[in-house]
Structure 1
Amino acid sequence: MNDDEAVRAIEKLKIRVNTENIYVITHNDGHTKRVSERTDANTVGVNETGFGVSIKNIFRNKGDELRANLQEVGFSEREAQHLESQLDKGAVIVAATETPEGVTIET
């Protein structure tokens, strides 16, 4: 998604999903923060990854860090690899944890 699509998707999700369970991930920390601030969505941090993964992320390259973060919010290793390649192309990933069955995002 681009920024505007991500914002629209997050606003739709907020109707059915607790905001605490909505995350935004981009390839650039500043970009992630800007989208998060526009929408009140969360970013993946120590609370989600735990202290051990957060320390490991300090020493990882950006791709490894992003894949680890994606896995921490529920994606499989294969899904995380695919999504990280999309992040490399400038995509914005919106992830929701603990969603009611049947909730989908259409942009």
Structure 2
Amino acid sequence: MVIKKIVENAVQAKKEIEDLTSQGYTHDDIYIFAHDKKRTENITEALDTEKVGMKEQGFLDSMKNMFTSRGDELRSKMEAAGLTAEDAADAERELDHGKLVLIAKK
């Protein structure tokens, strides 16, 4: 089961993560996305959530993301985390407005 949550900031993200962990998700099941790469890294590290990497994406998609736009990279990573292409596109539009996207996948 995949859950997608849209939040305004890291404080709200922390609350959502606490709610998700109380429902049985682990920090390794939860991914956070922000449009700015550095913001994603900082929040992911601060809230101890998982990063989408080669394990989730596969080698070829990971390499392809090195040469694509940030929007394409984000959509690809959100799909690897469990969203459909349509949901990933919708979530990426939310990121364009400065919001954060949380994805929880068991």
**Equivalences, count:** 98
TM-score, normalisation: structure 1: 0.86
Alignment-derived partner of residue 97 in structure 1 = 105
SS at match of 2:66: helix
Letter in 1 for 2:81: V
For 1:58, the equivalent position in structure 2 comes to: 66
Greater RCO structure (CA 8 Å; 6+ sep): 2
Contact 1:32 1:43 (C-alpha < 8 Å) held by counterparts: no
In structure 2, runs of 5+ residues without a counterpart are: 1-6
* Contact 1:7-1:38 at 8 Å conserved across structures: no
Q: Is residue 4 from structure 1 mapped to residue 5 from structure 2 by the alignment?
A: no
SS in 2 for 1:35: helix
What stretches of structure 1 move > 2 A for 4+ residues in a row?
none
Q: RMSD across aligned C-alpha pairs, in angstroms?
A: 1.0
**What secondary structure, in the 3-state scheme, does the structure 2 residue paired with 1:95 have?**
strand
Greater strand percent: which structure?
2
User: Is 1:32 aligned to 2:45, yes or no?
Assistant: no
Q: Percent identity?
A: 33
TM-score by length of 2: 0.86
